[in-house]
């Protein structure tokens, strides 16, 4: 099958589940002998081990797209001038700033993208369509998220392809924009949803939320859980000593780092856990540096600076050097997530997870491989972690169970097969 995958690029400065989901899927589909062309949007595909080959140029280069919104005269600038703004050195600089952008600052630009040919990026849409129609026509065009649906009408008209759209974490971004853009963006996405043959949600929980948000019939949303490429062997067969809690996400309170740090501090007061360590990675963006500096001062004050490692030089995805020392992983985002790829990354390495019983987390751990706790109960995270860390044999048993479940349910190849089945259905359902 000929597939065009439109994927926002990433500077690799923080753990981006959507980026890893898309890249892993492209690689897995290619292993199944499908012809997949990945088209980067906004930023090139930086990312070390997560790199994916693409012969496509970048479209909607981050600097040019931003300036076209801020300086409308540039919408009519010569194309050659705008391509200068896509120079690798400039985009690499922009990539380093990616975590400093806030939804509240990008409402107008998001709405402009959703307005398609009536928005500020019309010239770039024309360029994208010209490039696509010069290639072999795709049967399916897969759009990475619903915030890109402004491209769908032109792409469907120009190619006749079935438009498929992934759904993951649009809701917190749109809600973070504030009035009037939150309402305007939801209205635009509802209007454009009719251009899509099939939506692919990362979880049942998020599928339900987005069906309600976009007014979608149940049959128009299919759940395809993201997958990961398994390592050859689990991280360990005997739980590490000293015990170590891992955290994998952007180091920020909204992703649960405060909650985990409080639980860790409480556990260290227990003589049983005097050697307990905490290892955190996932990215410290420019906007997070003041927060992390305050955290380090707190650790120094509490005499825990040597027990907590925060890796600030994150690059796209961690490897064995992060996972091997971990006894358990916990990323207790207080509002939950549309999935939780970091949980699967741990499970497939034989590391159990401890997560709040909210959002999509129960779907990942519903068959075992970890512990779910009630986030509304005071001290519940510390209690759940403590019970598990006090029982190395249970950690070992849960770890083996986690790997078995992840290999069966969350491998990249399994996700690719489900995605191809969805593409075939989408071709029959195209508007």
Q: In what order do the strands lie in the sheet with 221-223?
A: 35-45, 2-10, 140-143, 162-167, 198-201, 221-223
Q: Tokens 């491998």 sit at which residue? A: 411
Please report the pLDDT score of residue 14 as a whole number.
79
- Reported as a pLDDT band with limits 50, 70 and 90, residue 56 is confident
Note the pLDDT tens digit of each residue in 216-226: 999 999 999 99
Please report the pLDDT score of residue 317 as a whole number.
80
Residue 420 has pLDDT above 90, yes or no: yes
**Could you tell me which of 77, 157, 73, 61 has the C-alpha nearest to residue 117?**
157
- Reported as a pLDDT band with limits 50, 70 and 90, residue 206 is very high
**Could you tell me which of 40, 55, 43 has the C-alpha nearest to residue 10?**
43
Protein fold of 2-228+412-429:
Rossmann fold (3.40.50)
Note the pLDDT tens digit of each residue in 344-383: 999 999 999 999 999 999 999 999 999 999 999 999 999 9
Please report the pLDDT score of residue 55 as a whole number.
77
Quick one: 45 exposed, middle or buried, by C-beta within 10 A (0-12, 13-18, 19+)?
A: buried
If you average pLDDT over residues 96-104, what whole number do you get? 57
Protein fold of 244-409:
Rossmann fold (3.40.50)
Judge whether 199 and 165 are in contact, CB under 8 Å.
yes
Please report the pLDDT score of residue 106 as a whole number.
81
Both tokens of residue 365? 């751990």
- Reported as a pLDDT band with limits 50, 70 and 90, residue 121 is confident
Residue 100 has pLDDT above 50, yes or no: no
Q: Which of 97-111, 116-130, 258-272 has the highest mean pLDDT?
A: 258-272
Please report the pLDDT score of residue 285 as a whole number.
82
Report the distance separating Cα 310 and Cα 359, nearest Å. 26
- Sequence ranges of the domains in the chain: 2-228+412-429, 244-409
Q: Do domains 2-228+412-429 and 244-409 have the same CATH topology?
A: yes
Which range is least confidently modeled, 53-67, 144-158, 229-243, 246-260?
53-67
Judge whether 207 and 219 are in contact, CB under 8 Å.
no
If you average pLDDT over residues 20-32, what whole number do you get? 95
Q: What is the mean pLDDT of the chain?
A: 91
Q: What is the 3-state secondary structure (H, E, C) of the chain?
A: CEEEEEEEEECCCCCCHHHHHHHHHHHHHHHCCCEEEEEEEEEEECCHHHCCCCCCCCECCHHHHHHHHHCHHHHHCCHHHHHHCCCHHHHHHHHHCHHHCCHHHCHHHHHHHHCHHHCCCHHHHHHHHHHHHHCCCCCEEEECCHHHHHHHHHHHHHHCCEEEEEECCHHHHHHCCCCCHHHHHHHHHHHHHHHCCEEEECCHHHHHHHHHHHCCCHHHEEECCCCECCCCCCCCCCCCCCCEEEEECCCCHHHCHHHHHHHHHHHHCCHHHCCCEEEEECCCCHHHHHHHHHHHHHHHHCCCHHHEEECCCCCCCCCHHHHCCCCEECCCCCCCCCCCHHHHHHHCCCCCEEEECCCCHHHHHCCCCEEEECCCCCCHHHHHHHHHHCCHHHHHHHHHHHHHHHHHHCEHHHHHHHHHHHHHHHHHHCC
**CB neighbours (10 Å) of residue 69?**
20
pTM listed for this prediction: 0.92
Report the distance separating Cα 109 and Cα 100, nearest Å. 16
């Amino acid at each position: 099958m000929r597939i065009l995958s439109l994927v926002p690029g990433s500077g690799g400065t923080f753990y981006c589940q959507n980026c890893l989901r898309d890249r892993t899927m492209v690689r897995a589909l290619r292993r199944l002998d499908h012809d997949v062309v990945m088209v980067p949007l906004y930023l090139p595909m930086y990312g070390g081990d997560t790199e994916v080959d693409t012969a496509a140029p970048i479209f909607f280069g981050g600097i040019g797209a931003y300036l076209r919104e801020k300086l409308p005269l540039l919408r009519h600038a010569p194309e050659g001038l705008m391509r200068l703004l896509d120079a690798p050195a400039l985009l690499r600089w922009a990539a380093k700033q990616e975590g400093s952008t806030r939804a509240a600052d990008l409402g107008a630009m998001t709405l402009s993208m959703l307005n398609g040919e009536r928005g500020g990026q019309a010239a770039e849409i024309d360029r994208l369509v010209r490039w696509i129609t010069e290639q072999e026509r795709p049967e399916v065009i897969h759009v990475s998220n619903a915030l890109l649906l402004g491209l769908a009408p032109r792409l469907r008209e120009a190619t006749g392809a079935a438009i498929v759209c992934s759904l993951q974490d649009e809701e917190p971004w749109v809600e973070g924009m504030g009035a009037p853009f939150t309402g305007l963006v939801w209205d635009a996405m509802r209007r454009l949803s009719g251009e899509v043959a099939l939506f692919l949600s990362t979880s049942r929980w998020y599928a339900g939320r987005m069906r309600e948000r976009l007014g979608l019939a149940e049959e128009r949303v299919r759940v395809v859980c993201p997958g990961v490429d398994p390592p050859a062997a689990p991280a360990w067969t005997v739980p590490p000593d000293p015990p170590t809690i891992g955290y994998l996400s952007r180091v920020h309170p909204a992703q649960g780092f405060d909650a985990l740090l409080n639980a860790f501090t409480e556990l260290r007061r227990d003589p049983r856990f005097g050697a307990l360590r905490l290892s955190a990675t996932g990215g410290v963006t420019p906007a997070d540096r003041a927060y992390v500096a305050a955290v380090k001062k707190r650790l120094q004050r509490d005499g825990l600076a040597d027990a907590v490692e925060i890796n600030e030089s994150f690059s796209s995805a961690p490897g064995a050097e992060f996972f091997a020392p971990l006894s358990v992983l916990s990323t207790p985002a207080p509002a939950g997530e549309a999935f939780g790829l970091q949980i699967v990354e741990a499970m497939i390495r034989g590391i159990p997870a401890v997560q709040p019983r909210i959002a999509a987390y129960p779907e990942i751990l519903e068959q075992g491989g970890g512990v779910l706790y009630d986030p509304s109960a005071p001290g519940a995270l510390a209690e759940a972690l403590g019970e598990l860390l006090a029982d190395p044999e249970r950690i070992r048993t849960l770890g083996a169970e986690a790997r078995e479940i992840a290999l069966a349910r969350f491998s990249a190849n399994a996700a690719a097969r489900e995605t191809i089945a969805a593409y075939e259905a989408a071709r029959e359902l195209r508007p």
